[in-house]
Structure 1
Amino acid sequence: MSAVLTPASAFSAVTTVSPSSPVNKIHQSDVDTTHRALRFLTAGSVDDGKSTLIGRLLFDSRAILADQLDTLAKRAAGQPIDLSLLTDGLEAEREQGITIDVAYRYFATKQRKFIIADAPGHEQYTRNMVTAAAGSDAAVVLVDVTKLDLDADEVPLLPQTRRHSLLAHLLRVPSIVFAINKIDAAANPGEAFRKVGAALEKFAGAAGIAVTAVVPVSALRGDNVTQPLAADWYDGPSLLQVLESLPTVQETVEAPLALPIQYVAKDGDGTGNNPRVLWGRIAQGQVQVGDEVQILPGGQTALVAELRRAGEPVAASVAGESAGLLLDRQIDVSRGDWIVAPGAAAPRRDFQATLAWLDTEPAVIGRKYWVRHGNRWVQARIAAIDHRLDIQTLAETEAHELSVNEIGHVTVELQAELPLQPYADNRVGGALIVVDPTSNRTSGALLVR
């Protein structure tokens, strides 16, 4: 299983609370997210212009080094610079002219900092798009007007546009922005924007997707990317203005404590007294010295005798921070266990979930897989496939298996109990990854219903 174990660092603090701050005075509204870096991904179909859009943002914000520009200019040989090459770094990507892996880039404006994930548009690499979406504050879904039938009464959207939008919605990406790209190539750009926008709004309404904004852009020319578009048919903000106004994801502070244990360390003091420190990143809620906590799946309770952050003692810690807890008594605790507020979660062996299947081998009823929840691996099997979601009609259809890139509702049975929570309430406690035990491939993503 070592091939798929990629634990994140347990020692990175995201926010700070002074040791003297009373934890019962910390509320969700007290956490300022307006100055945090916005993590967003670009999604959509192949050749919709995702890499070019990111290149345009980097170019217009002067986030490109002089030697990079010189290299691109030489490669262009007198032609316009191909801005997509700023993100397509793999040799195979440049040869095929497509994005394969997720490329991360950084830039900043006077208002805020940004972390961009350029996700592949090809169906074969949908799993990479899911990886990028799972940690994003926003998704910019590009729609290429040159690929659509603008003469139709209702413009049909591309399957990958619908799939990526649904996946971003299912993964609870808070802000979804549709960017109608290559608007300069339309014979009647105003009419094209109106009709494509109407199709997007209709699809989003049927799928239950809350659309943050729909903006027209030309990534190649730079129209309405960083500067507002001068057109009589559009008087809205530029894409950059929309991104600068979006909130960042904030873990829920006002909720029962949930902390997946990532690492158990012995804290020797040279006297034979070796208390154990339970380290992990708080998924939701808050904890302070003296609180009663429960260890799952065992169910034992204890008091928090000491609390640490970055090696220093503190009085309290909140969701989003990495913390180390010392308990007032010895309990059998190991990596993969959870520290929760007493009675806040009940371990269970079966659950219903939305399954996004990413493997070329279909998901079948009765097949056993490994699943990872927090930092624990357990065996599981798909007990039933309740239905499959048709991305074209959004209808729930009968299915006995799920093929690559399909989405369905399933019932899962576990070999051991896990303290699961609905994904809508907790993105850490309600998410599991599915791994093929034979190939060690990441095969799917489970979102607890």
Structure 2
Amino acid sequence: MRADVDKAIGAVWRIESAKIVAGVARLVRDIGLAEELAGDALVAALEHWPATGVPDNPGAWLMRTAKNAALDRLRRDKVFQEKLQQIGFDLEAQEAMIVPDVVDELDAERQDVIGDDLLRLIFTACHPVLPVDSRVALTLKLLGGLNTGEIARAFLVPEATIAQRIVRAKRTLGKARVPFELPGAGELAERLGSVLAVVYLIFNEGYTATAGSDWMRPALMDEALRLGRMLAELAHLVPALEPEAHGLAALMELQASRARARVDADGRPVLLLDQDRARWDGILVRRGLAALARAQQLGGAPGPYQLQAAIAACHARARTAAETDWARIAGIYGHLARIDPSPVVELNRAVAVGMAEGPAAGLVLVDALEQGGALAGYQWLPSVRGDLLEKLGRRAEAAAEFERAASMAANARERALLLARARENGGG
């Protein structure tokens, strides 16, 4: 029985923790304190629910407990009046002080407030004042519901390192007096880019792990999907966010749909053109296409996430690899290169051009990238070059390129795949 209750509490916490931290943070205007008070509510649940049973609305119980604790904390604070001014005499706080138990924010009519709080939390956790690795750690902790051990295992770093990043991030936000609020119109573009980039960075690390012994890390991918869906649901509150939020959700849903087909029974990588498309997740494909359609319906020039989602949609709509519209994909990559230029985009365009126009055309683009030097040390450049050389029948050169790529790869599965391709072309 106790084990069942603990399991239920864990599930509720994973779902509700972000809302609770966000709701409490609006009262105390301090993310570190809000997380501490939310954690106290979790401890209270662990103490009481085994005896009393799980409440009918466990999220509301946790929110009420955390907010009551927050109000008690504010009452005891020597600078209580300053805090009241800082939150602008928040109506909810005043009402709760008169009737302390009336702080249930989970009523259906208050979902707009919860949405605002979650957006504030997302934008605060991804504030540009923090380095990217700290944004990732803090976002996963506050919004992904992961503990420091889970985050450390996902990124293959010591737990102490992740704990330090989170502590430093909270300290930095406090020292910089970062307000717990949505950014103004002038800051929105910069802050939006940070939020979406952090979520996609988390997804990419789950989709293709940069190091370790596993090709993918499903837990990270799932958390990024959850965050992306959350952003898409809340995006109507910030209209400038909406198209690219749906674009990012579409991109991640479509890429995640291939997860089961990306590894064989032994966990070895299976490349896109060799995947059994019957194993692609049809539900995720439909979700992704619907999110892309929503992004396109909103109008305006498509951004980088919408364009990448459109490329993923080309693959999703092709029943077989042979039916893929590579010319369209190459054209979309060309558009992407114009609005968001990067050598990685150019490398992907080279792959598409190689498929649409032949390997020789693709090799010209790859060789130009090689000479530019921007992707030195990036294993996928010699990997793509090896693939194009193999298709041209230049097998010895292809083997050398695959071996060079393998020497750069930190992921064990990726390295094994590249060495296998080298052997297929006569390499050692």
Is this a same-fold pair by TM over 0.5? Answer: no
TM-score after normalising by structure 2: 0.23
Structure with bigger helix share is: 2
Structure with bigger strand share is: 1
Q: Which has the higher contact order (CA 8 A, sep 6+)?
A: 1
